[in-house]
Structure 1
């Protein structure tokens, strides 16, 4: 008689936060770079194709790093920040604060600060949101919205970066107060400490492209 199959451990899906404008801009910029560089490779004479290849090898990883790569993943146990050249994983228990001033930042308990590239702060958008909230407050002189308004409605009036940081702060508070879902012991132990991983898959080709450019220009 075979033993019953143990139930599968529940998985805790990450929520992803990223900049749609950054992705769109990155895709368009990469298409433009590949079009110009590809044309130089195909139609260029002499050393031009090699210079174009070296330029593509340098520029494409950098553009992808700063536009397509940044994203923040968060669940009930930890936050994972994927910046242009590093991926930082920090358990919520080690996070001291999340704040959005001129940039979005995470501060750990030991004083280390990490910037969230995927959550850019737009001062113009923040001013527009403040003016919108001021107009709505003026339209409601009795303060009805402060008592009866839905929280989701108040967040919809916030700037995008402030709304994202509010969502992340809520996840952090849930994790620290123990109201979030509790994963298994194995998954908890694997996320008990923070880690930093460098994106060598982008750094290596960019460095190789720079070296190739320097060699080509020096020997030209």
Structure 2
């Protein structure tokens, strides 16, 4: 009569475990794959056609470069669910329950701090200054366009989709400022942390 209790309780944890959200850098992975393909092409060519020490040097270069490039480009990832975040950097994996996360910081790199003050860089979410400048320009254009539409609605001009007045002018409005993709990911991680840091399962 004791066997049904473990059987009935075993499905419950699987139902409560939330699915991980994975965050990777598409540009980093693409660049890494291209570098790996080029290195393998040149290395294999040297192994096949090389003479003397050339083959050994090519083999040594492949053994050194392939794992290094893969570690810095393909391997990095951040996984997050309702209980914790897991940071997979080139040479280490850090698991941080949300209750142990102290803060996030986005400057020239994206970082997470734990309660003890330790800092961990998020390699898979690189900061793009070019992306931030592009987002700032889009926000400026949107703000200028919004001001122009407001003036047009006051003057009874033609609004968006050819409608007159303010009815069509507000049809294309987007809530919130325009953000770079990496900053959007950090905002999502912060929101998840704020929502789950006091939960019992996040400790």
Q: TM-score, normalised by structure 1?
A: 0.73
Deviation at residue 149 of structure 1 after TM alignment: 5.8
The equivalent residue for 1:206 is: none
Alpha-carbon distance in structure 2 between the residues aligned to 1:60 and 1:120: 21
The equivalent residue for 2:99 is: 93
Alpha-carbon distance in structure 1 between the residues aligned to 2:141 and 2:116: 41
Query: Structure 1 stretches (4+) deviating beyond 3 angstroms?
Result: 1-5, 148-151
The equivalent residue for 1:24 is: 30
Deviation at residue 138 of structure 1 after TM alignment: 2.0
The equivalent residue for 2:154 is: none
The equivalent residue for 1:174 is: 195
The equivalent residue for 1:119 is: 125
Deviation at residue 55 of structure 1 after TM alignment: 0.7
The equivalent residue for 2:140 is: 134
Decide which of 65, 72, 75 is 1:66's aligned counterpart. 72
Alpha-carbon distance in structure 1 between the residues aligned to 2:88 and 2:173: 35
| Count of aligned residue pairs for this structure pair | 176
Decide which of 181, 197, 203 is 1:160's aligned counterpart. 181
Deviation at residue 177 of structure 1 after TM alignment: 4.3
Deviation at residue 3 of structure 1 after TM alignment: 3.7
Residue 140 of structure 1 aligns to a residue in which SS? helix
Question: Does structure 2 conserve the Cα–Cα contact (< 8 Å) formed by 1:18 and 1:119?
Answer: yes
- Unaligned 5+ residue runs, structure 2? 151-165
The RMSD of aligned alpha carbons is 2.4
The equivalent residue for 1:106 is: 112
* Structure with greater contact order relative to length (CA < 8 Å, sep ≥ 6): 1
Q: TM-score, normalised by structure 2?
A: 0.79
- Unaligned 5+ residue runs, structure 1? 193-220
* Bigger Rg, structure 1 or 2: 2
Question: Does structure 2 conserve the Cα–Cα contact (< 8 Å) formed by 1:100 and 1:161?
Answer: no
